[in-house]
Structure 1
Amino acid sequence: MRKIAIGIATLLLAALYALCRLLLQQQRIVCISRQSDSAPVDFRLIKEYCERRDPPWGVVILAKQLRNPAAYLIEMIRQVYYIATSRAVVLDSYCIVVGLLHDRIRVPVIQIWHSLGNMKRFGYTAFGTEEGHSEATARLMHMHEGYDAIATSSLSFADEFAAAFNAAPAKLFEAPLPRVDLLLNEQHRARQREAILTAYPQLRGRETIVYCPTFRKQPAANEAEAAAALIGAVDFDRFNFVYKPHPVSKQVIDDQRVVTIPGGQFDALFVADVIISDYSTVIYEAGLLDIPVYLYAYDWDTYREKRGLTIDFENDVPTLFTGDPRAIMEAIESDAFDHDAFQAFVRRNIALPPRGTCTEQLCERILALAEKPAH
């Protein structure tokens, strides 16, 4: 039944795409995301660069999470129209329309993914794990098919990335995400920090610890207890404690001493003096900001079984990795962090361009593909 439904949906989308192809094609790129309902920062930076370029290119950003399948159908119709009338498609996650129309789309499709570095198995390499997708469903939906090029922040993990997308390694090119430029821009960092302190004045006067755990498809059984234990270990006379939830996480920390700063207007990383994470690629962003990072592995024994990993957290990441919150707080209070070792680790996963910006490097590659005749 599911196969028949997907087949019918594909035929309808293909018919709509064929009709839209009769319309005038614009000198425009369409960026599509299911990560949030607001324009992702990487897409905003792509848009700003392309519209300033000479000659300028138009950029349309379509960002919408799939919460209600019926309502999302309208969004899919919009996606078909813009895919058919643009010169290139840029994705930061799996797109249903691109997957189902993978062999019909006549303009280049570029996948830039939404996270920095390499850490966890995903896509085709996550089949058979509790955190991964069903292989049968993924193949029916043609997950990650139809890409002409795939950006990666470092070719040092090209084989793992290519396997995750079930793509030929030759499709990969090295280009860190545009938001790296913001992390490296001291003036931007200072402005963002001051904006957060203005919005949350209670954070002034003390060092700020930012806790940003990864998203878990199935929350750990001890999630609430682990968060409470971590908060209980904090000296609130000396530190602020900020919770930065993952964009799609449902975890809530209900403690009046904790300041929750959700994604959107502010990125809590810019106010951090110390970061506590776990198995999240946010540790690469922390490294680019040169902020000490410690890993709170309260569910390590179960998580590593549920989710395949591509790095050895206990040995590859040069920082404290523990399920003991008091050990983490002791390390923070004594500043037991090796900045040089962590910087070397980050540079292996984020290959900064030898000249120009990350935004320029990525955009010029996208535009070079867009300028080629339609295939």
Structure 2
Amino acid sequence: MVSTARSIYALMKLLPVQRKVVLITREPRQITVDFRLLKESIRRKHPGHRIVVIKHRKLSASYIPKAFREMYHLATCSGCLVDGYIIPVSILNHRKGLRIGQIWHALGAIKKFGHLASGTREGPDPRVAATMRMHQNYTFASASGQVPASVYTAAFGVPAERVLPLGMPRVDYLLDQETLAARREQILTRYPRLRQTAESGGRIVLYIPTFRRGKHIPYTQVAAAFAEYDAANTLVLLPHPIDKSPLPNGGRTIIGTDVGVLAWLAVADVVITDYSAVTYEATLRNIPLVFWPYDIADYTEARGLAVDYEAEVPGPIVHSAAEAVETALSIGPPDYREFRSTHLNFVTEKDGSLPLEPPACADRIIDALELEE
């Protein structure tokens, strides 16, 4: 099948190249903040280029006709950006000079992925990864700091010089106070309980755990622990779209899946997490973080962690749902400068202070495509 696809693609490459940028995402529900900002940058900097956004699907019989569409646009585009592992991007032999950028879908990584996780219980099979040329063909990958850059070098299997200090478009979104204030108002209007919490001096606590394939996440434990405290506080649970874990009903708990994670950071007072890369986004918003890695021994064995967890996570590590909630409701303002000075130093000041002006990451990434005027 792979050889057939390459043969068909070789014929497609004979077609004329168009003034067109292809953005391919694995986000099935909506266009991400990152792609929205990239589209705005392309329209502003290269108004003569058409933009094609493709939502990549997993391999199945229904995917085959969609694969031909992806191949056609790859064969005829001026540049391509992806936010995950996209099979046609990696297995096909592309036209010389086609620049392909990997922006990934997170500002950094705490858990292993890609080649770093190859051979682990939850990671890709090394033989399949080799056959599918996993994460090959990137002209460059974008990183927001030196620690993520080193992780991406290993996870994507690319030379260090191909990981560029470009950041992610979402950095500008998270640092845009006017945009986030408007988003906050929208969410408070949508959820009157949250407005009541904010106005009464209570705390809005997000619980954003990492998805576990085939395992339940203890949302109900967190909600039960939360119920022991002042009713002025509100807990927002953000399960993964395919997570089947039991969820609590009503009370002072909101299931927040109808609003994106980045938007929720506009209202959050505290975030409880474990291995999620939301850690990075929260530090750009100066939101206190509490880490509850309740299954760290099993998770480390099953997938592995990309960083020294205890040394690197920028917040207290707790050992129970009760301790997580207690800490979340009492924790004070954080100082993330040390963390940002190594994990986000491509988009902050050298000492980790937040930049005085947004770094225009979307423009940096589009410039790296080197599109013709």
Please indicate the TM-score interval, normalised by the length of the shorter structure. 0.7 to 0.9
Q: Does 2:23 match 1:22?
A: no
Trace 1:152-167 onto structure 2 (pairs within 5 A).
152-167=143-158
1:357 alignment partner in structure 2: 360
Q: Deviations over 1:77-116 (max 9, x none)?
A: 1111111111111111111111220466751211111111
The structure 1 residue matched to 2:187, chosen from 177, 193, 196, is: 196
Aligned partner of 1:318 in structure 2 is: 314
Compute the displacement of 1:177 (Å). 0.8
Letter in 1 for 2:3: L
Q: Which segment is superposed worse, 357-366 or 169-178?
A: 357-366
Between 178-187 and 72-81, the greater mean CA deviation after superposition = 72-81
- Partner Cα distance (2:299, 2:321) in 1: 18
Change (3 A) 1:72 1:254: farther
Aligned length, in residue pairs: 355
In the TM superposition, what are the counterparts of 1:63-82 in structure 2 within 5 Å? Answer: 63-66=55-58, 69-82=60-73
After superposition, the C-alpha distances for 1:159-183 in whole angstroms (9 at most, x for unaligned) are 3321211111121111111011110
* 1:10-30 superposed Cα distances (whole Å, 9 cap, x missing partner): 233223323332333221110
- Identity percentage of aligned residues: 32
Answer yes or no: is 1:219 the counterpart of 2:211. Answer: no
1:113 aligns with 2:116: no
Q: Report the CA distance between 1:240 and its aligned residue.
A: 0.8
What are the equivalent positions in structure 2 for 1:49-88 lying under 5 Å apart?
49-53=41-45, 55-66=47-58, 69-88=60-79
| Alpha-carbon distance, 1:264 to partner | 5.6
Secondary structure at 2:193 match in 1:
helix
Query: 1:101 corresponds to which letter in structure 2?
Result: L
Instruction: Please tell me whether the aligned partners of residues 175 and 358 of structure 1 are also in contact (alpha carbons under 8 angstroms).
Output: yes
User: Judging changes above 3 Å, is the alpha-carbon distance between structure 1 residues 247 and 108 closer, same or farther for their aligned structure 2 residues?
Assistant: farther
Taking structure 1 as the reference length, what is the TM-score of the superposition? 0.87
Q: Which residue of 2 aligns with 1:260?
A: 255
- 1:250/1:78 CA distance change after superposition, 3 Å: farther
Alpha-carbon distance between aligned partners in 1 of 2:81 and 2:241, rounded to the nearest angstrom: 20
Distance 1:250 1:363, change over 3 A: farther
Q: Is the 8 Å Cα contact of residues 153 and 176 (structure 1) preserved in structure 2?
A: yes
Note the residue ranges of structure 2 that are not aligned, 5 or more in a row.
Answer: 198-202, 350-356
247-256 or 77-86: which moved more? 247-256
Name which of structure 1's ranges 244-253 and 175-184 shifts more when overlaid on structure 2. 244-253
2:200 match: none
Q: Tell me if 1:295 matches 2:291.
A: yes
SS for the counterpart of 1:363 is: helix
Matched, 1:143 2:134: yes
Deviations 1:101-143 (A, max 9, x none): 0466751211111111232221111112122111111111111
- SS at structure 1 position matched to 2:38: helix
**What root-mean-square deviation, in Å, do the aligned CA atoms of Structure 1 and Structure 2 show?**
2.3
List runs of 5+ in structure 1 lacking aligned partners.
1-8
Q: Does 1:91 align with 2:82?
A: yes
d(CA) in 2 for partners of 1:264, 1:75: 28
User: Quick check: 1:331 aligned with 2:331?
Assistant: no
